[in-house]
Amino acid sequence: MSKTNYYRILFSLLISTGMTIGFASSCLADPDGAKLAADKCEACHGKNGNSEKDDVPSIAGFSDVVIEDSLDMYQSDERKGGTYKVDGKETNMNEIARDLSAEDIEALAIFYARQTFEPRPQKFDAALAEKGATIHERKCETCHSDQGSNADDDAAILAGQWSPYLRAEFAAFRSGDREAPKKMKKKIDDLSDEEIEALINFYASQQ
C-alpha cells in the first residue's frame, strides 16, 4: 500500500471515530436545566425561579437538595401539589414531576440552585413583623438560619417569600395535608394563629 493511500485511510478512520464519539457524547449529554426550567416550570415559578404569582413560591437559589427532594416527593405523590392553569389547561406539580426523569430532576435542581433568589415586593404589617422576628429567632432560626435566607441549610428560603403561599403552607402543615418533619411539626403545632401571622409578616418584610 502506498503512503498516500495509508494516510487517506488513517484520516478517514480518525474522522469516523471523531464523529462517532461526538454523536455518542451528544446522546449521553446531561439534560439542559435551563431549557427544562423554561419549558416545565417558568409558567408558574417565573423566569429563573422568581415567581410573579403570590400563591406560587419563588424557588430560585434553593439548594439542589431541596429541589430534588421536593420533586421526588411530588413524583411519588408523597406531597400533593396545588392545581394551576397554564395556557388554559389545569395542571399540578404531581403531573409535572411524573414526566421528569431522574436526570431531568437533577438538571433542574442544579439550575435553580445557581439562580439568585429575589425577595418578593409585597405589603406587610411592621408591628407584626417585629413580633415575628422574635418568634423566628426562638422557634425557627436553628433550621432556617440568617432569618430564613440561608439556602445552605437545605431548607426552603423563607425570607422574602410570598405571604399568601406561606400562609397556605402553614395551614397545610397544621391540618396534616402536608407532612412536616417531627421537630418542625411540634414547633408549628405550638404556634398560635397570631404567631404564625407574625412570622409571615416578618418573612415578607425582608425585601
pLDDT tens string 134-156: 999 999 999 999 999 999 999 99
Residues 139 and 162 in one domain: yes
| Span 188-205, pLDDT tens digits | 999 999 999 999 999 999
Same domain? 186 vs 137:
yes
How many domains are contained in the chain? 3
Q: What interhelical angle do 64-75 and 102-113 show, nearest 10?
A: 140
Burial 40-75 (b: 16+ CB within 10 A, else e): bbbebbbebbbbebeebbbbbbbbbebbbbbbbbbb
Which range of residues forms the domain containing residue 107?
A: 33-46+54-113
Percent of the chain with pLDDT over 90: 78
Using the 8-state DSSP alphabet, how is residue 39 labeled? I
Q: Are both 95 and 164 inside the same structural domain?
A: no
| 38 & 103 share domain | yes
Please say if the pLDDT value at position 28 is more than 60.
no
What is the pLDDT at residue 86? 80
What is the three-class DSSP state of 9? helix
Residue 118 forms part of a structural domain: no
- Ramachandran angles phi, psi of 119, nearest 5°: -55, 140
Please check whether residues 104 and 149 belong to one and the same domain: no
Q: How far apart are the first and last CA of the chain?
A: 76
> How far is 189 from 33, CA to CA, in rounded Å?
37
Contact of 144 with 180, CB cutoff 8 Å: no
Domain of 86: which CATH number? 1.10.760.10
Q: Are 167 and 54 in contact (CB under 8 A)?
A: no
**Pair (201, 130) in one structural domain:** yes
